[in-house]
Amino acid sequence: MVFSFGGLDLGGVELGRALAAATAISFSGAPLGVFLVLRRLSLSGDVYTHTLFPGVAIAFLIAGESVSAMIIGGLISGLLVAYLSGLVARITVLKEDASLAAFYMLSLAIGMVLLAGNDHAEELLHVLFGDVFSIDHTSLLVIAALSSATLFTLALVWRALVMESYDRVFFASVGGGGAATHMVFITLVILNLIIGATALGTIMAIGLMTIPGASARFWSRNLGVMVVVAITIALSASLAGLICAAYTGLPPGPTIILFAGAGYVASIIFGRFGGLISRYGKRPHLEA
Tens digits of residue pLDDT in 200-217? 777 777 888 999 999 999
For residue 194, what pLDDT band results from cuts at 50, 70 and 90? confident
pLDDT attached to residue 124 = 58
Phi first, then psi, for residue 209 (nearest 5°) are -90, -60
Mean pLDDT score, 264-288: 79
For residue 6, what pLDDT band results from cuts at 50, 70 and 90? very low
Q: Evaluate if residue 266 carries a pLDDT over 60.
A: yes
Tens digits of residue pLDDT in 217-229? 999 989 999 999 9
Q: Evaluate if residue 120 carries a pLDDT over 90.
A: no
Predicted TM-score (pTM) above 0.85: no
Q: Evaluate if residue 15 carries a pLDDT over 90.
A: no
Residues with Cβ within 8 Å of 217's Cβ and at least 6 positions away in sequence, in order, are 37, 226, 267, 271, 273, 274
Residue percentage of the chain with pLDDT more than 90: 24
Please name each of the domains of the chain with its CATH number: 2-280 (1.10.3470.10)
Tens digits of residue pLDDT in 47-98? 888 888 888 888 888 887 677 787 788 888 888 888 888 788 778 877 777 7
DSSP, collapsed to helix, strand or coil, labels residue 5 as strand
- Alpha-carbon gap, residue 63 to 241, rounded angstroms: 29
Q: Are 108 and 53 in contact (CB under 8 A)?
A: yes
- Alpha-carbon gap, residue 51 to 72, rounded angstroms: 13
Mean pLDDT score, 99-116: 81
Nearest one of 240, 239, 246, 249 to 3, comparing CA atoms: 246
Q: Are 160 and 171 in contact (CB under 8 A)?
A: yes
**Apex 229 CA angle, 227 and 230, nearest 5:** 65
